[in-house]
Chain A
């Protein structure tokens, strides 16, 4: 395939809207509207419409918060960390991954707002914020993460927006106008590319640091309290590993869907899936390592309150989701990666989905069982929690919203970076180095 053909292929989705696409978007929008109505109900009646209670003060909304922020780690891992280590195979999937980051952080942040009893007072966080509170650490780190991800994403998009502006002359006027404005007057020039690479390289260092900080801080909302099952130093690193794990699984799924939808068989090849597969084998094993380290420490210590939570997960109320989580996060993906996944993209997608369902369950199992078994269990009422339809509707809306924004993006912007694959640009950068 010549560079010209490839460019045509990658720009093709930007010029037409298929009926299937419209139908798909309509469906997503309907789910979002449904969730918005459920949320409206919650705004009017209060959090009484959820399954939350005392002592289970947090439920699915907080699970979603942790999950979406975790999902976001995919993009930064692939576009920033792999950039730093010079893994060039990341190039065609970098934007697809980074888009997951940019569109999933807002839903993570929104999940916190949805969970607030007084969302109308959110700005108090800025008026009266206290840095002693782990929640303020979250506001700062997630805010910074969103801001820098958007900047990083936009900068790496600039040359391609300019390309759209120059090549796509017969798109509707407003669309062309959009490219013209967003391109910020970008012109191909070796010096510009050199500067862009420099900025992206510099930002990648900062982003890599943010990846570590953000998800650790997310865990600290729990870890900083004294509750059994939460108050452990392993929570931060475990959250981080889980985040990159689920994020990478999501990238595999996104890659496969994009490949099928936009006929990118020659751009996203089995080779790329294999790179991801190898990475994911590592993550699966690291995940197991953390699991064993956490639960063996708890079990060996036999502290009464800790053990109540422990047994709730292993054999009690949460045994089914717990072992399902273990199967979906570890057994299923590892077997796929070592066997069928080598040659089959379909199986890789199955593994990616399995990891993400498993990781959502893991977040649920970190948050809920601890709350149902508070320290004063024998004195206080034992906690139970069953999410209500409102919580499920809002959750569905968050996922649909993420897909909607992602799909909308692919409709107007090339999801595979064109400039990073261009030999011309390669030559510029090479020239500049000399």
Chain B
């Protein structure tokens, strides 16, 4: 049984936001519009956080931290959900059942990473984007929580085609499987099976440069970061 995880190399990340942009398109993330976004109602399954800026122009350095759902092994959100609408599947992916969620937002307050978003109103898409919605991803109704799924639809499709051809899913096939990884121009992101000692992600996760976000909270995130040298 694979245990999916991701590694993001902060040394390679240029903060270009391609991952965030492509994620919206891939997962049909609704548009809040500038007004609602200013009020804190925008949804970003994947967001590039700007950490501190060091030094002064022209000698300055900014650290970017692409942040998606950490798909924790010990997820605080799953613990508190009253109806089991959010759960961790057997391959370690934390998912949402949009049809079951009652919209209490306890998971959103419990997540220390702030990766859980609520649909404050009926999801809206500007005119041309309505035609570009991804048919593989279910649209979310008003009043439920949503979040990154590790592109579970792509994963399922890849597994199905591998099964059809009667072979195992290879590391090379999945390393850029998620939309964010595929779109990263700096090749800073890797996806794969953390339980396979030969996989790219498990090799990188063992690197001395690897760290986990808010590791001290004991959530056991499955997104590793490689810090800048």
Contact = CB atoms under 8 A, between A and B. Distances in A.
B40 A129 contact: no
Interface in B71-117: 76, 79-85, 100-106, 108-110, 112-114, 117
Given A55-B40, A117-B119, A117-B142, A128 B112 contact: no
Contacts of B110: 224-227
B31 interface: no
Contact of A380 (B49, B81, B84): B49
Contacts of B84: 128, 130
A275 B76 CA distance: 46
Contact of B39 (A53, A116, A128, A379): A53
Contacts of A124: 83, 85, 100, 102
Interface stretch (A143-151, A285-293, A370-378, A393-401): A370-378
B144 interface: yes
Interface residues of A, number: 47
Nearest to A47: B120
A198 interface: no
Given A130-B82, A380-B49, A121 B101 contact: yes
Given A117-B104, A130-B82, A58 B109 contact: yes
Interface string A181-204: 000000000000000000000000
Interface residues of B, number: 44
A225 B184 CA distance: 34
Given A130-B83, A376-B113, A118 B121 contact: no
B79 to A, nearest CB: 6
Given A55-B109, A125-B102, 13 more contacts: A53-B39, A54-B118, A55-B40, A57-B118, A125-B82, A128-B83, A129-B82, A130-B83, A222-B109, A226-B76, A226-B112, A227-B112, A375-B112
The 3 closest A-B pairs by CB, nearest first: A117-B103, A117-B143, A53-B40
Interface of A: 45-48, 52-58, 112, 115-119, 121-122, 124-125, 127-130, 132-136, 139, 221-222, 224-227, 371, 374-376, 378-381, 383-384
Interface of B: 36, 39-41, 49-52, 65, 67, 76, 79-85, 100-106, 108-110, 112-114, 117-122, 141-145, 214, 217
